[in-house]
């Protein structure tokens, strides 16, 4: 089996590549096979990359068709599409967000259609597909009404993947991700980045800022959980998924104050003393439009998983990614 990960230099791409290289086999559309090659595309790589004889690193940008076309012509059995301009950057730079999060995806889908290889296509979308009244509960039939350019670009790509799948050009599985916590490394331009920062930095005796009040709820999932769900999505057969290819992943609705309490309990110290509470109007204007309450019956039925608790999510970070002094 040949696997292609777009956005393979990001922390999720690296975790997915590592898990696949450990597994050495994968189920794609119900068929199990040995993994022969894992190609990762990105325009940059972290200082420490996953090393495996199965992995091939390709430097390039998803907007560059001359880079993308040869990767598709090598006929990957499954494409994990994780590449994107993140929420805050897409809001500040409309043209860049549209080019990377929509126009490049249209060209990508067209190249797949013309090649007629029909790979399984797992797309990382977002719960920012929803907006409006944040106290409501989102279910599988709730219509997306995004309140950010990032969410809008993702939803437009979702619909295209669904139609290209309906037409038989590829086999799409669209996963609407919760906020992924805890992200290792440095904070990025995602407006939800602070949720990881208020855990990651205090555990390393560094200061972090929380730009929202402690009664705000967020819908979250761990890197371990989302990695499992990516691989599981590829395994599902077309018959199992049917026409409901756009899937709200399960997660946990957690208040910021609950995160802070769990942080102190797991650290055994007052780690939360390193959190500053300075409001940020730009971040609030986006994050506070994301409904944090979901009923994910379809995802549960399909076998997708969530974490047991915020305590488990923090423990996963300590075990997997916390840099020891």
CA atoms of 1 and 23, how far apart (whole Å): 12
CA atoms of 183 and 192, how far apart (whole Å): 10
120 with 170: CB under 8 angstroms? Answer: yes
102 with 156: CB under 8 angstroms? Answer: yes
Token pair of 257 as six digits: 């104050």
Which residue among 150, 164, 228, 274 is the active-site one?
Answer: 150
- How many angstroms from the chain centroid is the CA of residue 128? 11
Our answer to whether residue 150 is catalytic in this structure is: yes
CA proximity to 253, closest of 202, 315, 179: 179
CA atoms of 80 and 267, how far apart (whole Å): 35
Residue ranges in 60-103 assigned as alpha helix (H): 65-73, 87-92, 94-98
CA atoms of 31 and 215, how far apart (whole Å): 46
Catalytic residues: 150
């Amino acid at each position: 089996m040949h696997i292609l990960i777009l956005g393979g230099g990001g922390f999720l791409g690296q975790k997915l590549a590592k898990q696949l290289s450990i597994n050495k086999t994968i189920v794609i559309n119900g068929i199990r096979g040995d993994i022969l090659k894992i190609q990762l595309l990105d325009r940059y790589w972290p200082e420490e990359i996953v090393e495996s004889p199965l992995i091939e690193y390709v430097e390039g940008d998803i907007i560059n068709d001359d880079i993308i076309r040869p990767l598709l012509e090598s006929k990957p059995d499954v494409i994990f599409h994780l590449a994107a301009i993140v929420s805050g950057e897409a809001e500040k730079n409309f043209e860049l967000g549209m080019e990377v999060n929509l126009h490049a995806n249209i060209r990508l889908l067209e190249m797949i259609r013309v090649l007629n290889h029909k790979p399984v296509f797992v797309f990382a979308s977002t719960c920012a597909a929803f907006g409006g009244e944040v106290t409501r509960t989102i279910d599988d039939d709730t219509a997306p009404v995004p309140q950010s350019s990032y969410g809008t670009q993702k939803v437009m790509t979702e619909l295209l993947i669904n139609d290209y799948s309906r037409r038989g050009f590829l086999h799409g599985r669209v996963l609407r991700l919760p906020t992924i916590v805890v992200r290792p490394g440095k904070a990025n331009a995602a407006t939800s980045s602070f949720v990881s920062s208020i855990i990651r930095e205090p555990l390393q005796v560094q200061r972090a800022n929380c730009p929202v009040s402690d009664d705000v709820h967020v819908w979250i999932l761990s890197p371990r959980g989302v990695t499992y769900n990516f691989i599981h999505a590829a395994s599902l057969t077309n018959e199992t998924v049917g026409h409901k290819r756009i899937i709200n992943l399960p997660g946990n609705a957690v208040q910021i104050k609950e995160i802070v309490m769990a942080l102190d309990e797991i650290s055994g110290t007052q780690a939360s003393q390193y959190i500053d509470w300075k409001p940020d109007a730009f971040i609030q204007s986006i994050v506070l439009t994301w409904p944090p309450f979901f009923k994910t019956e379809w995802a549960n039925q399909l076998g997708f998983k969530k974490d047991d608790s915020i305590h488990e999510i923090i423990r996963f970070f300590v075990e997997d990614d916390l840099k020891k002094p």
